[in-house]
Amino acid sequence: MKRIAARTVYTVVVLVLSSIAVFYAIRLSGGDALAARLPASATSEQREAFRELIGLNDAIYIQYFDYVGRLLSGDLGNSLTNNASISTMLVDHGRNSLILGAAAFALVFAIGVPLGILAAVRRNSWTDGGIMSFSVAAMAVPNFWLALLSVWVFASTLRWLPSAGCCSPRQLILPAVVLAMEGIALTVRMTRSAMLENLNQDFVRTLRAGGLSEVRIVGKHVFRNALVPIISLAGLRIGQIVGYALVVETIFGWPGLGQVLVNAVLRRDYPVAQFFSLVLVTVVVLSNWLADIGYTVANPRLRRV
């Protein structure tokens, strides 16, 4: 409990610090672009007045608190590109990202863990070799290439699945699978190594001496012990998925937060870039915090003591 409380405090501190960092970084180059929005004919006095008006001449920390204040009161601002309300964007795109992310996350564990267990239990067999080769290949093939390939195969050639767009289940399949691929590969390897390490532990021998069946020993005891590192890294999978979602959403035209952020950076839409950077950073930090809690919960040695 104490440990969880400590980590929570740490996480909050981190959140504040990173929001400052993000804010600062974007304002560095963002500020002048705002001024660039003025017509070229504007004189330097007019530019200066404009800067003063929107507060760009204030000290950076004043700008920061001002910004945070506005956020907290619900005023998220508008996009520079099309003047859309950022809060609407947050809701719509956020929901899409959530769907895609959840689907990918589910795939990572639904496929990764069983394959890893299988590889461990059938160690050194063809099954094991096959699964491990698959995991190496899945990591080596860049996801954008995989995306192209899968679109080419499944959409253009076979015409089984649509190539882009949102938001039907059929349109979800390809992006979710591509997004999950690397996580699956990593999870397979981690599960396999965690299982193997626990299969060699002394307590397995004690359980065998107790007359328990191999199936029960491996399926319940070894697996539950292997789960400790798997759960602890599950939170990181979320972060990884967020990272890759930036690319996958863009390729498949899935209108989520990642796509929004990438477009905003490319088009120098600073309010949008700033806000959604904060959002994604918050998601990652929170998921790391969850991972920490998960680790504490999964490992009894860290509880109570």
Residues 136-175 that bind another protein (CB under 8 A): 136-137, 139-145, 148, 152, 156
Residues 278-297 that bind another protein (CB under 8 A): 280-281, 284-285, 288, 291
Q: Select 173 or 199, whichever has its Cβ closest to another protein.
A: 199
The residue length of the chain stands at 305
Residues 171-200 that bind another protein (CB under 8 A): 193, 196-197, 200
Residues 110-129 that bind another protein (CB under 8 A): 124
How deeply is 18 buried, as exposed, middle or buried, from its count of CB atoms within 10 A (0-12, 13-18, 19+)?
middle
Assign 299 to helix, strand or coil: coil
Choose which of 161, 246, 286, 290 interacts with another protein (CB under 8 A): 246
Closest CA to 134 of 154, 116, 121, 120: 116
Q: How many Å apart are CA 133 and CA 125, to the nearest integer?
A: 12
239 belongs to the binding site for another protein (CB under 8 A)? yes
Q: How many Å apart are CA 177 and CA 160, to the nearest integer?
A: 15
Q: Select 135 or 171, whichever has its Cβ closest to another protein.
A: 135
* Residues 6+ away with beta carbon under 8 Å from 103: 172, 176, 180
Q: Select 37 or 49, whichever has its Cβ closest to another protein.
A: 37
Q: How many CB atoms lie within 10 A of CB 250?
A: 19
Stretch binding another protein (CB under 8 A), from 60-68, 85-93, 106-114, 264-272: 264-272
Q: Select 1 or 53, whichever has its Cβ closest to another protein.
A: 1
Stretch binding another protein (CB under 8 A), from 19-27, 50-58, 97-105, 109-117: 19-27
Tell me the per-residue interface mask from 35 to 74 with another protein, x by CB under 8 A, - otherwise. ----------------------------------------
Angstrom distances, CA of residue 292 to CA of 10, 98, 135:
11, 21, 26
242 belongs to the binding site for another protein (CB under 8 A)? yes
88 belongs to the binding site for another protein (CB under 8 A)? no
Between vectors from CA 214 to CA 124 and to CA 221, what angle results, nearest 5°? Answer: 95
